Amino acid sequence: MILVLMMTIMTLVITNLVMFINLMLYKKSLMDREKITPFECGFDPKSSPRMPFSLKFFLIAVIFLIFDIEIALLLPMMPTMISSNMMQWMTTIITFIIILIMGLYHEWNQGALNWV
C-alpha cells in the first residue's frame, strides 16, 4: 500500500515538474518578436495574415465528408448480403439510402449546394 502511495506521489511530482518547465520555456519563446510574426520568404508580409475565409468552401467540405463517410459505411454492407436475411438487409439498406436522400434534399433546400 505504501509503495502505491509513493509511486502516485512521485508521478504527480514528476508531471507537475515537467509542466512547470514547459510553462517557463513557453513564456520565453512568446517574448521573441521574430517568432510571433508571420513568415513570407524572409520579407515582411504585404497584407494581413488573417484573410477572410469563404464559408462556402467549408460547407462543401463538410458535406463531402459526411457523404464520404456514409459511402464508407455502405461498402461493408455488400459482402454481408450473402450471409444475412435478405428482407432485413434490404430494409436496412433502403432506410439508410432514404436517410441519405433526405439529408441531400435538406442541404439542397437550404441552399448549401448553390455556389452563387
Do the domain assignments include residue 44?
no
10 part of a folded domain: yes
pLDDT tens per residue, range 5-46: 999 999 999 999 999 998 887 766 555 666 666 665 666 666
Instruction: Say if 72 falls within a structural domain.
Output: yes
More confident residue, 107 or 98: 98
- In terms of pLDDT, which residue wins out, 77 or 115? 77
Residue type, 35: K
pTM metric for this prediction: 0.47
Q: Which domain holds residue 63?
A: 55-110
pLDDT number for residue 12 = 96
- Number of independent structural domains in the chain: 2
Q: Please say if the pLDDT value at position 83 is more than 70.
A: yes
The answer on 62 and 15 residing in a single domain is no
Same domain, 59 and 100: yes
The verdict on residue 47 lying in a domain is no
Q: Do 32 and 67 fall into the same domain?
A: no
Which three cell numbers mark 55?
A: 464559408
Are 32 and 59 members of one domain?
no
Please check whether residue 50 lies inside any domain of the structure: no
55-70 residue pLDDT tens = 778 878 888 888 888 8
